[in-house]
């Protein structure tokens, strides 16, 4: 998980009146944030994204609006596992 973490960025909702729902989801710099992508390329360990066409894309900006705002492409899910669960598991399995 540490190898895949993305430090210094966050995936946030921003107002965008030009879109169907009046908002969009964007990746922004945030020096206090650590996130992980939902999917990673096995060969490169780089995040990838895919819309309804099932074609891999390098950035979330490349997928259609409906998929961009309707799916959790980035998140903090591994943080709890790394900080709390893994140390307990490691101590119990030494």
pLDDT for 7-37, tens place per residue?
999 999 999 999 999 999 999 999 999 999 9
Residue with tokens 């596992």: 81
Q: Is 8 left (phi over 0), alpha (psi -120 to 50) or beta?
A: left
Task: Report how far residue 43's alpha carbon sits from residue 53's, in angstroms, rounded to the nearest whole number.
Answer: 22
Distant-in-sequence, close-in-space partners of 87: CB < 8 Å, separation ≥ 6: none
Question: Quick check: helix, strand or coil at residue 75?
Answer: strand
Count of domains observed in the chain? 1
Which pLDDT tens digit goes with each residue over 43-94? 999 999 999 999 999 999 999 999 999 999 999 999 999 899 999 999 999 8
Question: Alpha helix locations (H) across 1-94?
Answer: 65-69, 77-80, 86-92
Structural domain for 39, as ranges: 2-92
């Amino acid at each position: 998980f540490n190898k895949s973490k993305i430090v210094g960025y966050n995936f946030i909702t921003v107002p965008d009146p030009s879109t169907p729902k009046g908002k969009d989801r964007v990746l922004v710099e945030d020096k206090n944030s650590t996130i992980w992508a939902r999917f990673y390329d096995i060969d490169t360990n780089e995040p990838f994204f895919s819309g309804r066409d099932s074609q891999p894309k390098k950035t979330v900006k490349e997928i259609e609006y409906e998929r961009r705002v309707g799916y959790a492409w980035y998140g903090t899910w591994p943080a709890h596992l790394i900080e709390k669960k893994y140390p307990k598991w490691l101590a119990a399995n030494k």
